[in-house]
Amino acid sequence: MGHPGRVIAILDDEEPYRRALSRLLKAHGYDVASFSAGEELIAEAAQRAFDCVLLDLHMPGMTGFDVLARLRDQPAPPPVIVITALDDPDFPKKAFDLDAFDCQLKPVASPALLAAIERACAR
């Protein structure tokens, strides 16, 4: 299944996780832009549009919540799928309050993540 022209941004401070997500998405036909810090993603998002953003919440510096708030302020914000390892019941509510499209707990199952990305890109 190909997705020509669809660009998915990955923001996670863990390089092996970014690499694994990137391989998965590329294998399913997506173009990928990978970032290790929120500031990098925000700067790039000001220059180009992403079809979807996969966003870790807990990172040094700018948190995922900070990134969500900044992306939400863009004229055409991309849908954001939050992916976190911390199973805190407050995180999804806070993420949805900041207009997250979906929240998933690490380790996320590939079929569930791909389905969420499809729904986000189709909205």
Residue 78 in tokens: 């991309």
> Does the residue 1 lie in any domain?
no
Report helix, strand or coil for 31. strand
pLDDT of the residue at 2: 62
> Does the residue 13 lie in any domain?
yes
Enclosing domain of residue 92: 7-122
Q: Amino acid identity, residue 58?
A: H
Report helix, strand or coil for 32. strand
Total domains in the chain come to: 1
CATH of the domain at 113: 3.40.50.2300
pTM of the model as a whole: 0.94
What are 44-99's pLDDT values in tens digits? 999 999 999 999 998 888 999 999 999 998 888 999 999 988 888 888 899 999 99
pLDDT of the residue at 115: 96
Per-residue CA distances from 100 to 92, 93, 103 (Å): 9, 9, 7
Residue percentage of the chain with pLDDT more than 70: 98
> Does the residue 2 lie in any domain?
no
